[in-house]
Chain A
Amino acid sequence: SQTIHQWPATLVQPVGSPLSLECTVEGTSNPNLYWYRQAAGRGLQLLFYSVGIGQISSEVPQNLSASRPQDRQFILSSKKLLLSDSGFYLCASHLGGLRNTEAFFGQGTRLTVV
C-alpha cells in the first residue's frame, strides 16, 4: 500500500510570510495527488489536484499555489500568507482510472497564521 509523508506536522507563520508544505508518496507510481484544507468545523475542501508531473488543477481561486516537480512529490506554496489560510492541510494520493483504489492520506499539517 501507499505511504504518504507530509511535513511539517504543525506550523505557525506570521501574516505575509511565505509557505511551503511538502508531500511525498511511497509505494506507487503515477498517482493522482491532492491538497485539501480542513477549516475548523468544516469538511475537506479540495484545493488542488494533479494527474502528473507539472499538471496542476486548481479548484478554488486563492492565495495558494501547488507544484509537482516529481512524480511522487507535491508541494503547496504561498508567497504571502493571510489569516484566512489557517487550517488543517491534508495531502492525498489516489490511483484513478482503471486502477481505482481508495485514497491514502498524510497525517496533515496544522497551519496557524498569526
Chain B
Amino acid sequence: AQSVTQLDSHVSVSEGTPVLLRCNYSSSYSPSLFWYVQHPNKGLQLLLKYTSAATLVKGINGFEAEFKKSETSFHLTKPSAHMSDAAEYFCVVCPTSNYGGATNKLIFGTGTLLAVQP
C-alpha cells in the first residue's frame, strides 16, 4: 500500500540555522512527491514538487528537497531558517499507476510543525 511518513511531528530550530524536515514514502512505482506549507488557519501552499525530472528540486522561499529512490525519501531542507518559516509542513505522495500516469489519490503525511526560535 502507498503511504507517506513524516518522521518528526515537531521540529524546533533557531533563526539562521538549517532546517531538515524528513519524509519517507512507500509506493509501488516512482511517485510524484510534494511539500506543502500551511500557516495557521490558512489553506495549503505548494513549496515544491518532484515529478520524475531532476532529483534535486528547488522550491519557493529557499526550500529544496532531494528525491532519493534508494532510501525512499524526500526530505525538505533550507540552509537558514527565518521566523516566517514557522508553520506546519506536509509531505504528499501521489502514486503513479503501472502505465506511468498519476493515480487519483493524494496521500498526506501527518505533518511536521516547525518552530523557529529567535
| A interface, CB within 8 angstroms of B | 4, 32, 34, 36, 42-44, 46, 49, 51, 57, 88, 90, 92, 94-100, 102-103, 105-108, 110
Contacts and interface: CB of A to CB of B under 8 A. Distances in A.
Contacts of A51: 104
B46 A97 contact: no
A102 B41 contact: no
Contacts of A92: 44, 106
Contact of B104 (A36, A44, A96, A102): A96
B104 A43 contact: no
Contact of B34 (A44, A57, A103): A103
Contact of A43 (B49, B106, B109): B109
A103 B90 contact: no
A51 B108 CA distance: 18
B111 A102 contact: no
A38 to B, nearest CB: 8
A102 B6 CA distance: 19
A46 B93 CA distance: 13
A88 B108 CA distance: 15
A28 to B, nearest CB: 14
A108 B108 CA distance: 16
Contacts of B92: 103
B13 interface: no
A102 B59 CA distance: 13
Contacts of B51: 100
24 contacts: A4-B43, A36-B108, A42-B110, A43-B111, A44-B111, A46-B105, A46-B106, A51-B104, A88-B41, A94-B94, A96-B94, A97-B102, A98-B100, A98-B102, A99-B102, A100-B32, A100-B96, A100-B101, A103-B34, A103-B106, A105-B36, A108-B42, A108-B43, A110-B41
